[in-house]
């Protein structure tokens, strides 16, 4: 594609920052438009598996995030009642070689701060909430809530689960409530008063699960995310304040090793879990979508952010390689459909690493060099 092509990325989330960073490295003129006034360090952790770390390496931020996150020594799946180990995967020097990169747990705010360093200084326009798109004969006009209008040749919708770009391409359709909510909490390890916990544990119940992991190599900050069923979510807000008591109520019958952790949680918040049914139209004309805007998924495999970041790397490759946008988008979709579909399906099943699991197809993948798939 002609490097003078003006590319607008809507949303400075995980996928948007990734695609913008790679396109800028390839010599494109890219503007990123983000509704938020700035990024705050919201209370949540994120798992970055080796497939993702390889992308972040090429964005030049791998070491930065290794420095602030933690390479857990293992991931353990335990039964909610007996505490029995159902599955364990070790992460060490040998697994790094095998997967091609480390496996990392990190505070989301720290990941975002690093991603900001992966894009050209000054290229993120904050306080720009996209209202709509208008197609003219020579460009696509982005209309923002602050009155600003911007013309671009290509628009990349990276604006998350309630995407305006998706609305423009596919019509208005609210995301699907998954019948579950997530309690999230972060606390300082010293609150455990010497009680030792492994680096990363997922506790599996019959209809609920809960994940506990450190977010720093100093092991001084712990993240808890516990998912439990709910029949509905009645609020319009992204999250609600919750409490330690509510969190414990949902996991009251779980193993004492877990309850010992839950008893010291603070600042608990409650988040609805949404996804959408699979949709295989990711682009139209000069507009394309990636990440949660087009394939949001339940966060049970730690795959949503991973897929957004992988999308960013592959889409940038396609735009750099092919001369016309429609061709680039077709190659992007052909390369992504199957893998993203698999991750969506496993996320719905909630079966990842519950028992013996082939992890190589997921962790060994390198989106920066994997062959692109020829469209049918
Ligand atoms: C409880 C929970 C836990 C999760 N844990 C994990 C995990 O451990 N690992 C993992 O890989 N994934 C996890 N996920 C999923 C992951 O957060 C998402 O899949 C990922 O953030 C999607 O990235 P994205 O770039 O597509 O969208 P987002 O990261 O949501 O970014 C979208 C951006 O667009 C901006 N935006 C939205 N609308 C507009 C607009 N109109 N104009 C301008 N800007 C706009 C938003 O402000 C935001 O910055 C979790 C999700 C949830 C709900």
pLDDT, mean over the chain: 96
pLDDT at position 93: 97
For residue 305 and ligand 1, the question of a CB distance below 6 A is answered with yes
Please give the average per-residue pLDDT across 176-195, as a whole number. 97
Write out pLDDT tens, residues 299-351.
999 999 999 999 999 999 999 999 999 999 999 999 999 999 999 999 999 99
pLDDT at position 42: 72
For residue 46 and ligand 1, the question of a CB distance below 6 A is answered with yes
Please give the average per-residue pLDDT across 19-37, as a whole number. 97
Ligand 1, atom 17: closest residue by C-alpha: 305
Q: Is 322 helix (H, G, I), strand (E, B) or coil?
A: coil
What is the share, in percent, of the chain residues with pLDDT greater than 70?
100
Catalytically active residues are 213
Write out pLDDT tens, residues 103-140.
999 999 999 999 999 999 999 999 999 999 999 889 99
Alpha helices in the chain (DSSP H): 14-25, 50-58, 62-68, 93-99, 108-117, 164-170, 244-250, 256-262, 304-321, 325-349, 360-363
Q: Which atom of ligand 1 is nearest to the CA of 272?
A: 53
What is the share, in percent, of the chain residues with pLDDT greater than 90?
96
For residue 111 and ligand 1, the question of a CB distance below 6 A is answered with no
Q: Band the pLDDT of 157: cuts 50, 70, 90.
A: very high
Q: Distance between CA atoms of 63 and 55, rounded to whole angstroms?
A: 12
The reported pTM is: 0.97
Q: Which atom of ligand 1 is nearest to the CA of 45?
A: 8
User: Among 39, 36, 11, 9, which residue's Cα sits nearest to residue 23?
Assistant: 9
Is pLDDT at 41 greater than 80 in this prediction?
no
Pairing of strands 74-79, 200-204: parallel
Is pLDDT at 39 greater than 90 in this prediction?
no
């Amino acid at each position: 594609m002609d490097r003078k092509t003006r590319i607008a990325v809507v949303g400075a989330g995980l996928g948007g920052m990734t695609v913008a960073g790679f396109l800028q490295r390839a010599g494109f003129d890219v503007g990123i438009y983000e509704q938020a006034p700035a990024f705050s360090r919201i209370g949540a952790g994120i798992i970055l598996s080796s497939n993702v770390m390889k992308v972040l390496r090429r964005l030049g931020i791998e070491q930065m995030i290794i420095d602030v996150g933690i390479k857990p020594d293992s991931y353990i799946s335990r039964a909610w009642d007996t505490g029995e180990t159902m599955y364990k995967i070790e992460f060490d020097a040998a697994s790094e070689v095998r997967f091609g990169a480390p496996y990392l747990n990190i505070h989301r705010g720290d990941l975002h701060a690093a991603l900001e360093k992966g894009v050209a200084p000054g290229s993120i326009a904050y306080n720009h909430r996209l209202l709509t798109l208008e197609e003219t004969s020579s460009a696509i006009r982005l209309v923002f809530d602050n009155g600003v209008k911007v013309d671009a040749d290509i628009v990349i919708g990276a604006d998350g689960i309630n995407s305006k770009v998706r609305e423009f391409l596919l019509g208005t359709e609210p995301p699907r409530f998954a019948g579950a909510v997530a309690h999230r909490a972060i606390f300082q390890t010293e609150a455990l008063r010497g009680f030792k916990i492994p680096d990363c544990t997922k506790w599996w119940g019959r209809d609920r699960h809960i994940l506990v992991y450190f977010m720093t190599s100093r092991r001084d900050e712990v993240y808890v995310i516990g998912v439990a069923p709910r029949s509905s979510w009645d609020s319009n807000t992204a999250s609600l304040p919750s409490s330690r008591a509510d969190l414990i109520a949902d996991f009251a019958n779980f193993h004492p090793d877990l309850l010992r952790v839950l008893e010291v949680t603070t600042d608990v918040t409650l988040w609805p879990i949404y996804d959408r049914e699979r949709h295989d139209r990711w682009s139209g004309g000069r507009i394309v979508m990636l990440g949660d805007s087009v394939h949001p998924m339940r966060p049970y495999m730690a795959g949503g952010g991973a897929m957004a970041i992988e999308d960013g790397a592959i889409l940038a490759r396609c735009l750099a390689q092919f001369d016309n946008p429609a061709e680039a988008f077709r190659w992007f979709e052909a390369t992504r459909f199957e893998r993203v579909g698999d991750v969506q399906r496993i996320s719905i099943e909630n079966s990842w690493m519950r028992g013996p699991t082939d992890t190589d197809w997921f962790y060994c993948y390198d989106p920066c060099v994997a062959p692109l798939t020829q469209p049918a």
